Amino acid sequence: MFRSTLFMAAIVFAGVAQAQTAPSASDIASYTGLHLAAHEGDIAETVRLLAEGADPDVRDRAQRTPAHVAAFASHGGVIAALAAGGADMNALESRAYDVLTIAAVADDPELVSLAMDLGNSPELITSVYDGTALIAAAHLGHHEVVARLVEGGAPIDHVNNLGWTALMEAVVLGDGGPDHIKTVSILVVAGADKSITDRDGITPVQHAKARGYGEIITLLE
């Protein structure tokens, strides 16, 4: 009954490390202008370049904007300067990630809140899985990020192209430990639909029982 879901989960686990691609050493070596300032966290240089007419949404070879580069380097001040200079806070790079999802995967709650404050929508469909920042954070058990995204209006029951919601990913791709327990709790309290099944018709609680995740079972029942 669970075979196809487990097979899909194995595929996702195998691809997680490659899902987001931070700038490589060769990318960084090629950077000039706003991309370089973003990587280095140089707010003053960012402001200067923008004042001189630099394009805030210029792309590198992986279609990353300076805001994406700054997000990978956790430079919130640069992102704020770029947003003030007209940067598109909902821009997607080549693998369909935005600043918010990059921050969510990095487990950076402050950057998550900042991105939303600057106009990065938590409703944006991101990643090759047609997911959301919330699904990405729930998958990884980043519960503080999950809480902030829920508060910011993220769609709780969005179903990605694997057939999974944030709640489903927290169970199927989680480890049943404290971080994922807290994640499930936040989603349940926020009103996540516990009846939404995967493509095999299996509910989150059934998956939790199959894995022996006692505390999560209690939350879901």
In a domain, 103, yes or no: no
Please indicate, yes or no, whether residues 11 and 41 belong to a single structural domain of this protein: no
In a domain, 101, yes or no: no
Burial of 77 (0-12, 13-18, 19+ CB in 10 A): middle
DSSP 126: B
Please indicate, yes or no, whether residues 147 and 183 belong to a single structural domain of this protein: yes
- Please check whether residue 147 is in contact with residue 110, taking contact to mean a CB–CB distance below 8 angstroms: no
pTM of the full structure: 0.92
Please indicate, yes or no, whether residues 136 and 208 belong to a single structural domain of this protein: yes
With a cut of 90, say whether residue 15 has pLDDT above it. no
State pLDDT tens for residues 174-188.
999 999 999 999 999
Please indicate, yes or no, whether residues 221 and 131 belong to a single structural domain of this protein: yes
Q: How many domains does the chain have?
A: 2
State pLDDT tens for residues 31-80.
999 999 999 999 999 999 999 999 999 999 999 999 999 999 999 999 99
State pLDDT tens for residues 103-124.
999 999 999 999 999 999 999 9
* pLDDT of amino acid 5: 60
Q: How far is CA 108 from the centre of its chain?
A: 10
Please indicate, yes or no, whether residues 31 and 12 belong to a single structural domain of this protein: no
State pLDDT tens for residues 142-185.
999 999 999 999 999 999 999 999 999 999 999 999 999 999 99
136 phi-psi bin (left φ>0, alpha ψ -120 to 50, beta other): alpha
Domain extent at residue 189 = 1-19+123-221
Paired with 131 in beta bridges are 126
Sign for the CA dihedral angle at 24, 28, 29, 35 comes to positive
